[in-house]
């Protein structure tokens, strides 16, 4: 009962945080379909909207905002059957004036397409799954589209204190957890004795509490993880952070991550395998470079992650190039080329990485991908057991010393990395 109550209040906090960040009232959220892409025929095909939808959690009462130009687009809600075959003959409802709001009034699956000629076939279609409302009178915690939001008690029974054994306490605690958008952290502390501040990485590293991003002084304090990325928390009280009252986590996405061929042990940031372009694969994209820009837009790439390029042997390849080669589409001296599909590339260093094709005009026609790779500073990632294939570590790749406890925990992680590295030898 107690836990339910806690989860509920945490959820309420989550809803309020999200709602206020989107300038709405109550627990109602507005989802701008496709974000800045709007509602159009997406350049790279339907992956644009399936990718977008995969990163959202939809609840009853939320609004979908289809942002389009009246006269150029429309949006129709249809059945699953009509969605699958792009049949716009007899839609459930249709809106022809943009931007169009659609209120998700009940739980279940919703299918939207454009009724305009061929638009649906080219990917202007959206399928979503709406969860039970979370703020109604009979509210129960809303299951996420692909994962129920989790409320984590930081440190579990330890609570949020100066940990007896130093910062390893919270490192260990965070190590086997997966944090996703929508999850909530509860810092359980006694008001007046502790506090918790979200800070930048720099402030976290140096225990600088001068100018925190946010500060909560009343315990227990809830913090909802409303976007992907790195989060750093410290105590601002004298000496507390230096003594180890600090927590760094990485929020991946709304689900535990795409399926992986080998079992990946949970960690703050288990390596993710990305299929570049998803179903589109790696080719000269129909709509130009925006296809891969759109694909990369919402993703977080970390050292240790793997990019898989699926392409046609003999008529395609993938080349890693410098930034200037990428910008100018000069593929005369690539850093490396892989000409056999599928090409698996392990991201071994932080910073910007650029990929294109060495085939004539492919790059200028949009077969190019630029990504930013983050080094989350996990030593098991930054320093794989065999670094024969790891060129010179990333700019931020300074390894963090870690003790035998976390080393032990990281063993499984090493094993999966070893498998990943072994597969690199194939190419």
Residues in contact with ligand NAG by CB under 6 A are 6, 17, 21, 24, 30, 32, 38, 63, 65, 67, 82, 85, 87, 89-90, 99, 101, 153, 159, 188, 206, 208, 210-211, 214, 226-227, 313, 340-341, 352, 370, 372
The nearest distance, CB 257 to ligand NAG, in angstroms, is 20
Q: How far is the CB of 252 from ligand NAG (least distance, A)?
A: 15
| Residue nearer to ligand NAG on the CB measure, 17 or 329 | 17
Please report how close the Cβ of residue 227 comes to ligand NAG at its closest, in angstroms: 4
Q: Quote the least distance from Cβ 215 to ligand NAG, whole Å.
A: 11
- Coil, strand or helix at 175: helix
Nearer to ligand NAG, 370 or 415 (CB): 370
Distance, in Å, from the CA atom of 344 to the CA atom of 231, rounded to the nearest integer, reads 29
Question: Of 17 and 365, which CB lies nearer to ligand NAG in the complex structure?
Answer: 17
Report the residue number, 210 or 332, with the smaller CB distance to ligand NAG: 210
Pick between residue 279 and residue 407 the one whose CB is nearest to ligand NAG: 279
- The vertex-383 CA angle with 377 and 385, nearest 5°, equals 150
CB atoms within 10 A of CB 102: 18
**Tokens 């892989």 map to which residue?**
338
Give the separation between CA 334 and CA 138, rounded to whole angstroms: 60
**What is d(CA 349, CA 337) in angstroms, rounded to the nearest whole number?**
17
Q: How far is the CB of 4 from ligand NAG (least distance, A)?
A: 12
The residue among 298 and 352 lying less far from ligand NAG, judged by its C-beta, is 352
Q: Whole-number minimum distance, CB 329 to ligand NAG, in Å?
A: 15
In whole angstroms, how close is the CB of 240 to ligand NAG at the nearest point?
Answer: 16
Are 96 and 74 contacting, i.e. CB atoms less than 8 angstroms apart?
yes
Cis? peptide before 99, omega within 30° of 0 = yes
Query: In whole angstroms, what is the distance from residue 73 CA to residue 52 CA?
Result: 19
Pick 7 or 248: Cβ nearer ligand NAG: 7
Q: How far is the CB of 165 from ligand NAG (least distance, A)?
A: 18
> Strand ranges (DSSP E) for 86-245?
93-95, 100-103, 108-113, 125-131, 151-153, 184-187, 196-199, 214-216, 221-224, 229-234
* Pairing between β-strand 369-374 and β-strand 301-302 as defined by DSSP bridges: parallel
CA dist 77 and 199 (Å) reads 43
Compare residues 267 and 273 and give the one whose CB is closer to ligand NAG: 273
Q: How far is the CB of 407 from ligand NAG (least distance, A)?
A: 29
In terms of Cα–Cα distance, which of 423, 186, 226, 172 is closest to 308?
Answer: 423
3-class state of residue 60 by DSSP: coil
CA distance 181 to 413: 23
> Considering the complex, what minimum distance in angstroms separates the CB of residue 396 from ligand NAG?
12
From CA 324, how far away is CA 360, in angstroms rounded?
A: 17
Strands 125-131 and 151-153: unpaired
* Residue (64 or 417) nearer to ligand NAG, CB: 64
Q: How many CA atoms lie within 13 A of 133 on its CB side?
A: 16
Nearer CB in complex with ligand NAG: 122/231: 231
> Phi, psi at residue 101, to the nearest 5°?
-95, 140
Residue 88 corresponds to which tokens in the numbers above?
């716009």
């Amino acid at each position: 009962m107690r836990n339910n109550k806690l989860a509920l209040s945490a959820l309420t906090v989550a809803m309020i945080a999200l709602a206020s960040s989107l300038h709405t009232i109550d627990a109602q959220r507005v989802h701008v379909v496709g974000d800045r892409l709007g509602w159009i025929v997406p350049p790279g095909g339907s992956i644009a909207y399936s990718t977008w939808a995969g990163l959202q959690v939809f609840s009853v009462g939320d609004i979908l905002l289809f942002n389009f130009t009246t006269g150029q687009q429309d949006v129709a809600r249809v059945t699953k059957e009509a969605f699958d075959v792009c049949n716009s003959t007899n839609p459930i409802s249709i809106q022809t004036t943009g931007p169009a709001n659609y209120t998700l009034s009940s739980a279940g699956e919703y299918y939207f397409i454009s009724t305009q000629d061929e638009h649906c076939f080219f990917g202007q279609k959206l399928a979503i799954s709406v969860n039970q409302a979370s703020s109604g009178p009979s509210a129960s915690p809303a299951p996420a589209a692909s994962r129920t939001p989790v409320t984590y008690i930081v440190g579990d029974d330890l609570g949020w204190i100066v940990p007896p054994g130093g910062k390893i306490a919270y490192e260990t605690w965070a190590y086997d957890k997966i944090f996703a958008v929508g999850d909530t952290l509860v810092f359980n502390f006694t008001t007046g004795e502790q506090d918790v501040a979200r800070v930048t990485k720099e402030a976290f590293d140096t225990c600088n509490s001068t100018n925190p991003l946010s500060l909560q002084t009343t315990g227990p304090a809830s913090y909802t993880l409303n976007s992907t990325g790195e989060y750093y928390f410290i105590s601002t009280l004298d000496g507390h952070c230096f003594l180890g009252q600090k927590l760094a986590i990485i929020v991946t996405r709304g689900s535990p991550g795409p399926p992986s061929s080998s079992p990946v042990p949970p960690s703050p940031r288990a390596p993710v395998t990305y299929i570049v372009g998803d179903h589109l694969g790696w080719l000269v994209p129909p709509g130009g470079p925006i296809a891969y820009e759109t694909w990369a837009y919402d993703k977080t790439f970390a050292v240790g992650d793997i990019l898989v390029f699926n392409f046609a042997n003999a008529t395609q390849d993938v080349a890693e190039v410098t930034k200037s080669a990428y910008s100018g589409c000069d593929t005369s001296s690539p850093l490396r080329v892989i000409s056999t599909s599928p090409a698996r590339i392990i991201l071994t260093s932080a910073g910007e990485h650029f990929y294109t094709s060495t085939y004539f005009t492919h790059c200028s026609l949009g077969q190019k991908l630029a990504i930013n790779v983050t080094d989350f500073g996990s030593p098991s990632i930054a320093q794989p057991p065999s670094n024969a294939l790891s060129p010179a570590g990333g700019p931020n790749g300074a390894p963090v010393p870690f003790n035998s406890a976390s080393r032990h925990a990281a063993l499984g992680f090493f094993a999966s990395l070893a498998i990943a590295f072994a597969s690199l030898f194939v190419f």
